[in-house]
Structures are given as structure tokens and as C-alpha cells.
Copies of this chain bind each other. A is one copy, B any other.
């Protein structure tokens, strides 16, 4: 959502959750983080989000314990934003939203998700129960592969990096091509 982000008078976990992640762009930042994006600039080019808004969202998400700011080199000092357990726990929500969006508004499949340890495609629902193993697949073991509907040659390097099959949470590798 956006604007005055509190829903006064609402006694509801859903409303509470939306106060935290309901602002515009917020869930897309979390999605990118799950896809392995970690750096300010990568979020910027991949989302096309205004810089000020990105800075504000990263700060809010960090304050709410969803992202953690981490120094990854000292000179020059550079930080990256990685998901905490609380942030990773948003995966079922994003998965449910993505399944709904694909079912009702997207013609072709853009991405598929597989159980990395056995290769089986995860199709059922937000909790990624593996039809072969019968277990709930932990988020780091979910492998993302591009679907037929995805642009094969996107302009920005982050989208290009996301064309390779990769596990969730695994940092992306942007080639400088």
C-alpha cells in the first residue's frame, strides 16, 4: 500500500502485516531479495524504483527486522541487504500471490520452481510441498528456472543474471557484459 501506512482500529494480523509490508514497492523488494538481489544498485536497476523510495523501504525493512544490513567489504565500505528469517518467512505469501497472478492475469508461465535436491517441479501451493519427496521444501532448496514467457534478452544485468537457474537466496552474479 502506500500513504499513511497504518490501518487504525484494525484488530487483525492481516492488517498488521500490511502495515509492515503493504506499502508500494515493499513486497517487490522482498521478492528480489529472495531471488538473490542484495545491493542497493541492483535493486535500483531491476525494479526501476525511485532512489529515495528504495532508500526509505530498505530502512523500514531493516528496522522491522526483515532485512539485515551487512558490511561485505571495508574499503571502500560497502553494505548489502540480506533477508532475515522473518523476511524469508514471507516466501509463502509471495508464492501465493504469484500463483494467483499467474492463474488469473498472466498468459504464459514466467518462472517455475523446483525442488533443488530432486529436480521435481513445485506446483501445488505456497508451502512448496514436493510431490516426489512429500516433504515441505525449505526455501534455500527451491530452485528457480526461467519459464517460456520470460524475455530471453533483457536490458538490465540483474534480469540477465536471473535467467540462469538458481536457488532462492543465493546471491546473483552480475556479469559486466
Q: Interface residues, chain A, CB within 8 Å of chain B?
A: 1-3, 7-18, 20, 22-28, 31, 47-48, 65, 86, 89-90, 92-106, 110-111, 124-127, 149-151, 154, 159
Q: Is A93 in contact with B89, judged by CB distance below 8 angstroms?
A: no
For A151, the chain B residues whose CB sits under 8 A away are: 11
Query: Quick one: copies of this chain in the complex?
Result: 2
Known contacts A16-B101, A125-B126, A126-B126; is-contact A28 B10 (Cβ 8 Å): yes
Q: Which of B12, B24, B154 contacts A1 (CB 8 A)?
A: B24
A97 contacts which of B10, B14, B24, B111 (Cβ < 8 Å)? B14
A47 to B8, CA, bound (A): 9
Compute how far the CA of A65 lies from the CA of B89 in the bound complex, rounded to whole angstroms: 30
Complex interface: chain B residues within 8 A of A126 (CB): 92-93, 96, 125-127
